[in-house]
Every structure is written in C-alpha cells, then in structure tokens.
Amino acid sequence: DAEITQSPRHKITETGRQVTLACHQTWNHNNMFWYRQDLGHGLRLIHYSYGVQDTNKGEVSDGYSVSRSNTEDLPLTLESAASSQTSVYFCASSEGPNQPQHFGDGTRLSIL
C-alpha cells in the first residue's frame, strides 16, 4: 500500500544544532506540506511544495527550510534549532485540487 512515512519518530537535540526531519511518500503526489502542532495553536503550516524544485513559505516558516529534489521526499531542516521549535511535526501530501491531504505519523522533536 502507498504511504507517507516520517523519520525519526522522536528526536532530542540541543539548541544551535542543525536538524533534518525526513518525509517520504509513495503515492507519487505532487503536493507536499509540513506542519507543526503545538498546544493552544493547532496545526500550522511551515512550508509546502507543488512539485520538484518548487518550495513555498507557510505561516511559520522562520528558522526552517525545505528542498524538493524528487517527487517522493520533502525534508525539513532547522538551520539552528531553538527551544521554541520544540513541537510535533507532521508531513502531509495530496494529489491535487479537491483531494484530501494525508498525514504521516509525526516526529516529536525536543530541543534542550
């Protein structure tokens, strides 16, 4: 079955370090998205991509970057991790217009 997988599931790191979270989908979807989920805020959009070599900033993009070198993967990089970036991160993908986004199981990131 096609799916979307995130890795690692849990990560603890220190402030100032660079961190990369992986997202891989096997649906061959063009659209991919990264969200973070925090208590009191719900899910907020970080970055998204409509296809290879395309990336766009979302509502809370500061301190994050993404790159899209193939259809299957959209890694999320925290250039210099900050404690405010402690969160649960979800990756999602969709086929296109009027198609729902499907989510990975999330990465719980703690920055000490």
Partner 1 sequence: EDKVVQSPLSLVVHEGDTVTLNCSYEVTNFRSLLWYKQEKKAPTFLFMLTSSGIEKKSGRLSSILDKKELFSILNITATQTGDSAIYLCAVENSGYALNFGKGTSLLVTP
State how far the alpha carbon of 52 is from the alpha carbons of 32, 48, 69, 72, 81, in Å.
10, 11, 6, 9, 26
Among 76, 85, 94, 109, binds partner 1 (CB under 8 A): 94
Q: Give the amino acid at 34.
A: W
C-beta of 22: minimal distance to partner 1 in Å? 15
- Strands (DSSP E) contained in 18-103 are 19-25, 31-38, 42-49, 56-57, 64-66, 76-78, 87-94, 102-103
Question: Using CB under 8 A, which of 11, 27, 43, 55 touches partner 1?
Answer: 43
Q: Does residue 90 bind partner 1 (CB under 8 A)? A: yes
Contact with partner 1 (CB under 8 A) among 10, 18, 26, 41: 41
Q: Binding mask 54-73 vs partner 1 (x if CB under 8 A, - otherwise)?
A: --x-x---------------
